Amino acid sequence: MTAMSNILYLVHRLPYPPNKGDKVRSYHLLRHLQQRHRVFLGTFIDDPDDAQHLPTLQALCPDLHVERIHSRSAKVKSLRGLLAGEALTLAYYRNAGMRRWVEQIKAEYSLQACVVFSSAMAQYAQPLLPQVPMLVDFVDVDSAKWTQYAPAHRWPLSLLYRLEGRRLLAYERAMATLARRSYFVTPNETALFLSQAPECQGRVQSMGNGVDADFFVPNPLRLNPFEAGEQAVVFTGAMDYWPNIDGVSWFAADVLPLLRTRWPLARFYIVGRSPSSQVQALAGAHVVVTGTVPDVRPYLQYASAVVAPLRVARGIQNKILEAMAMQQPVVTGSSCADAIGATVGQGLLRADTPEEFVEALKPLLESPYNAAALGQQARRYIEQECSWQAHLSGIDSCLGSLRAKPPQEVVA
C-alpha cells in the first residue's frame, strides 16, 4: 500500500510504558502500525501511576483517546455482568465514553480496519462490522488461563474461574468467527484455540513476540546492584500478576532451600513492580523483593542465574526474551520453553520440578565461564530469531489485502 490508511487500534491497557508483557507487545504493535498508517488509539488506564506517561504517549500517537478504569466500580460492573450471563472480562471493560469515541471516529473518518488488542476490546469493534473489518490480536487464549487458575484456588473462586473460562471462550470463538483474521502469540496457542474452536480454521494464525535487542544489551558501565560474593538468582516480572506470584512463591518455598544446601551464597531476587502482600511476605535473609526498579537491566546483566519458574503461563514470556538478549541463559518450565523454541545450546534450559531446577542451575552457578558461553548463544538466538519487525509483519499482508479507502474526513 502506498497511501497512508486510517486504522482504529483498541487496546485494553495503556500501551506505554512498555514495562510488562501485554504492554510490550501492544506498544510495539502500535509503532509497527504507525509505519504505514494513521492510527487512532483508544485505550484504558487501569493503573493511576500510568497517568504520568500520557504526554509521552500523546506525542507518539496524537490521535489518542483514554478512559480511566476505576477498579471498584469496574468490579461491580463485572458482577452485574456475571448475573446477566456474560464473561466478567467484558463487563469490566465496558465504558460508555469509549463507545462514543469509537462511534465519533467512525463517523468522521474513513477507516480501513479496526485492530483489536485483547478480546475484551472487540465489543467496541463489533458494531462497526461489516463496514470496518476487524482484526483481533488475542495474544493468548485468555479463557484457558482462567480455567488453569481454577484448580489452584478454593471454592467459590474455583467455580468463578471455571465459569469465566467457559463464558470467555464462547466470546472468543464468536469474535474470531467475525474477525477477518485473528492472531495468537505462538503456534501452540493457535493450536489450542483451534482445538476448541474448529470452526475458525483458516482464520487464525500465529504472530510471535520480539524483543528490543538494542535496548536489552549488556553495558559494562552499569553498576552491579548485588552484594559482593552473593550468587544472585533473579526473577523479573510484574508482581501483582497471579502466575508470577505463584511462580516465585513456589520457587522460594520448594527450590531455594535445595539450592542453598549446595550453594550457601545463593540469594533469590524478585525484581518487579507492585509486589503483592504474598510476595512481600517472602522477603527475608535469602529472598530480596525489590519492588519497582528504575532499570531492570543491571539485575539481569549481573545475575549469577535467571529463572522463570512459571507453573501457570500462556504464550511467550517477554521476561525470558529480555534476559536472553542480556546474554543470560534462562531456566524455565517446559511450557514456557516450548513457546519460545530455543534449545539448551541456545541458552534456554528446561526444568519443572525442584530437583530439575537445581540440576539445570548447577552449570550456571558452578561455572561463570559456562554461563557466559551459554549467554552468548542466547543473545545470538535473540538477534537472529526475535526481532519485532519480523514477527509483526504478519499483520501487514492481511491489512494490505483489505480494500483501501481514501483517508478523507467526513464533512458534517
The average pLDDT across 53-78 equals 92
> Model's pTM, two decimal places?
0.82
In DSSP notation, 193-214 reads HHHH-GGGTTSEEE------TT
pLDDT digits (tens, 9 = 90+) for 374-396: 999 999 999 999 989 889 988 99
The average pLDDT across 160-184 equals 95
Q: How far apart are CA 286 and CA 234, in angstroms?
A: 12
For residues 115 and 33, is the Cβ–Cβ distance under 8 A?
A: yes
Residue 117 has pLDDT above 60, yes or no: yes
What the block records as the C-alpha cell of 292 is 519497582
Number of CB atoms found within 10 A of residue 283's CB: 16
Number of CB atoms found within 10 A of residue 61's CB: 21
Percentage of residues in the chain having pLDDT higher than 70: 96
The average pLDDT across 123-130 equals 97
The average pLDDT across 10-23 equals 93
How far does Cα 297 stand from its chain's mean position? 18
Strand 204-206 to strand 113-117: parallel, antiparallel, or no bridges (unpaired)? unpaired
Measured between alpha carbons, how far apart are the two ends of the chain, in Å? 28
Q: Which residue has the higher pLDDT, 19 or 107?
A: 107
The average pLDDT across 361-378 equals 95
In this prediction, residue 236 carries a pLDDT of 97
In the numeric block, the cell 525484581 is attached to: 271
pLDDT digits (tens, 9 = 90+) for 251-268: 999 999 999 999 999 999
Q: Which helix (H) or strand (E) holds 339?
A: helix 334-340
In this prediction, residue 404 carries a pLDDT of 45
pLDDT digits (tens, 9 = 90+) for 269-283: 999 999 999 999 999
The average pLDDT across 196-202 equals 96
Alpha helices in 153-310 (DSSP H): 157-178, 187-196, 242-250, 256-262, 277-280, 297-301
The length of the chain is: 412
Question: In whole numbers, what is the pLDDT of the chain averaged over residues?
Answer: 92
Q: Which residue has the higher pLDDT, 76 or 184?
A: 184
Confidence bin at 407 (pLDDT 50/70/90): very low
In this prediction, residue 3 carries a pLDDT of 59
In this prediction, residue 353 carries a pLDDT of 97
Residue 406 has pLDDT above 70, yes or no: no
Confidence bin at 156 (pLDDT 50/70/90): confident
In this prediction, residue 172 carries a pLDDT of 97
Q: Which residue has the higher pLDDT, 334 or 4?
A: 334
Most confident of 157-166, 205-214, 350-359: 350-359
The average pLDDT across 332-357 equals 94
In the numeric block, the cell 509505519 is attached to: 35
Confidence bin at 403 (pLDDT 50/70/90): low
